[in-house]
Amino acid sequence: HFVHNLIHEEDEMEDNRLQNVGEQGHMALLGHSLAAYISVLDKEQLRKLTTRILSDTTLWLCRLFRYENGSAYLHEDNRDGLVKVCRLIINARYEEYASEGYSVFRSKQPVIYQSASCRPGLGQHLCSQDVALLDKLIKEDLEAEKLPLLLIANAGTPGAGHTDKLGRMKDLCDQYNMWFHVEGVNLATLALSDVTSAVMAATRSDSVTLTPGQWLGLPAVTAVTLYRYEDPALSLAAGLTSSQPVEKLRALPLWLSLQYLGHNGIVQKIKDATSLVSFCVQAKQMRHNILVEDELNSPVVLFKFSQEMTAGEGLNWQLIKNVICLYPLKISCLQLGEQLVQLVPTSGVEVVEFEDEGTYIRFSPLLTAAALGTQQQDIEHMVKRLMELVPVMSSTVSLRQDFREETHRHAASLRYVEKLSWPGLGAVRYQPQEAEGLHESRRKQELEKLNAELLKKLQDLDSDIMFSSGPEFETEDDCIFIGMVTEDVDVSELVETIATLGKEIEESGRLLENMTEVVRKGIMEAELQLQRANEEKLMEEGMLRQLPLVGSVLNWFSPVQSSIKGTTFNLAAGSLDSTEVIYSTKAQASRLSLQDTPTSSSKRLQGMIIHCCCAPL
């Protein structure tokens, strides 16, 4: 229960999609326990066992992913393999590096080239690539007496799944004696029988980084960097190999998982994941007449909400595959992606942000399907949800301008608030002209109060439209945000309803203010009358009767006969009246009642009538 509480402690703020740990996942987790147990064996036994496990794992991975005569380095951090490769290249190209260190770079500075779409943070961790431009850059660096060392290319970029021109880049590396490193999700397809020539060129590289844990749904399994280099001493110096048997035990969880799945099981998992892409594309084509750009056969699908401002076409959906969409609507894509994640968590879709191209929704089953257990019915469900959400988003976007114009027609009371981050119909503020003359602090307070009451009344309406105070991070408190709407919504009627309700609240508030002012004035007048009555009483009774001891004796000898003069406040008329009329009327009514009532027994209960009035004390 303690571990469960730790995992779910912040479920409301975090993504609730949990990994589907199948039997192969349990084998990987078992490998970690076995590694701890094996580590206490006799040193010689441990050395033999770990060497066998690492060599078998290396052989299987090289055969599975068509990387002949390779060695393997297993690492926890996906970037650590590339760091070790850099050390290997530096040790190989700078012979004095081991003794002199970084000072050897003074004569010739090393240069590392990487694709602009590499993993985020990769350049910092190490300190669309045009091959012709790359060739030009390398020549310029050579003329500047720099030393080109390494070229990092992608077989499936992290964002869009794009594969670089690996064949031409490898030829370029051979020409300038550079190390060629490849990474990316598309390397998983090397295990399939049908591999594109663009990805097959990765088998010619000097090193590749694989992430079988993501591709096969194996939790806590290391990444693997396969490389080709013949000098074991330099590999040891770079950290690619280790003489410590415990270090080799990293391969045990992966070794157990590969044993459990077998060659056919591994291939089938990768094949199932890539087939989800084709199924996703076909399902969207059948439900929506969409042209799909699929020249590179990438196992990554990008799609986004777009608005083409052309006559007669209106709003539509475009499914993009390694192609830039020209009319991005960032917030709509963000909203759609978040709703898909909530509605179909097993689909594995996510929202990605590109610096130049904008916001997309990405479906990359090679990275998510095995872990989440994504099936074809999940994709069908996702497409169905898309078809439900798209018309609402389309109608909302198309009606935004109408909503703005209708709000401007009610400029006497409504203000349109520009909120680019809001995916709904728009935001308004009820702001009557009378509020313009108030002080800024008082004006803001009144507007917040008025709009809060208006929002409450709008939420009480029997309507499918969502009214809210905006997202959590919204700083303005006096706005009303209107959510997404369907195409049958009458925008003019909606704006008229908002303005009418606001007017009613404003008038009721003004009536309450007037009533408050009347009551305040009445109280002030009553206080003045009480003060005058006290003064009259003082003049009538004299000063001696006001003294505590003398007044009591004087009142005992000569009591004062004074009548109570009360005052009543008429709320409708806003005036103060004397209560003498009321007392005389009540007294007369009481006498008539006593005359008409027959005499009863002595047990008859006496009644009492109490009148509250303002009278001098």
Least confident of 206-210, 468-472, 575-579, 613-617: 613-617
The mean pLDDT value of the chain amounts to 76
Q: What are phi and psi of 559, to 5 degrees?
A: -60, 150
**Is residue 74 over pLDDT 50?**
yes
Mean pLDDT of 395-411: 86
Nearest Cα to Cα of residue 364 among 343, 375, 348:
348
Average pLDDT over residues 486-512: 82
Report percent pLDDT > 90 for the chain.
18
Q: Highest mean pLDDT: which of 18-32, 279-293, 519-533?
A: 519-533
Q: Using 50, 70 and 90 to split pLDDT, how confident is the model at 90?
A: very high
Contact 244, 56 (CB under 8 A): no
Rounded to an integer, what distance in angstroms lies between the CA atom of residue 192 and that of residue 188?
8
Q: What span, in angstroms and rounded, lies between the C-alpha atoms of 303 and 325?
A: 9
- Higher pLDDT pick, 405 / 569: 405
CA pseudo-torsion sign 135, 140, 145, 146: negative
CA 98 vs. chain centroid, Å, equals: 48
Structure tokens at 304: 């986004």
Q: Over the stretch 98-135, which tens digit does the pLDDT of each residue have?
A: 888 888 888 889 999 887 666 554 443 343 457 888 88
- So what's the pLDDT on residue 554? 67
Q: What share of the chain is helix, strand, coil (3-state, %, to 5)?
A: 55, 15, 35
Number of H helices, E strands in the chain: 20, 16
70 vs 78: CA distance, rounded Å: 18
Question: Distance between CA 546 and CA 115 in Å, rounded?
Answer: 101
C-beta separation of 374 from 346 below 8 A = yes
Residue, of 324 and 92, whose pLDDT is higher? 92
pLDDT at 309 over 50: no
For 581, the token pair is 């009329």
Residue 330: what pLDDT? 61
Q: How high is the pLDDT of residue 210? A: 95
At 58 the pLDDT is 95
Strands (E), 392-484: 414-417, 426-430, 467-468, 480-482
Structure tokens at 591: 């006498």
Q: Nearest Cα to 450, choosing from 415, 493, 410?
A: 415
Tokens of 299: 């196992």
- Arithmetic mean of pLDDT, 440-466: 82
Q: Which residues pair with 248 in a beta bridge?
A: none
Please list the residues that pair with 155 across neighbouring strands: 163
Q: What pLDDT score does 314 carry?
A: 35
Render pLDDT for 349-366 as a digit per residue (tens, 0 to 9): 888 877 766 777 888 888
Residue 83 pLDDT: 93
The answer on pLDDT for 57 being more than 90 is: yes
Under 8 Å between Cβ of 52 and 252 = no
Please state the rounded mean pLDDT for residues 586-594. Answer: 58
Report the top-level CATH class of 16-263: alpha beta
Task: Work out the angle at residue 40's Cα, subtended by the Cα atoms of residues 38 and 45, and round it to the nearest 5 degrees.
Answer: 65
Asked if 361 and 393 touch (Cβ cutoff 8 Å), the reply is no
- What is the pLDDT at residue 342? 84
SS3 352: strand
Confidence band (pLDDT; 50, 70, 90) for 36? Answer: confident
Residue 331: pLDDT above 60? yes
> What's the whole-number mean pLDDT along residues 159-167?
84
Residue 243: what pLDDT? 83
Has residue 26 got a pLDDT over 50?
Answer: yes
Over residues 414-434, mean pLDDT: 81
HSE value, Cβ hemisphere, 13 Å, CA-based, for 131: 12
Instruction: Give the separation between CA 477 and CA 162, rounded to whole angstroms.
Output: 44
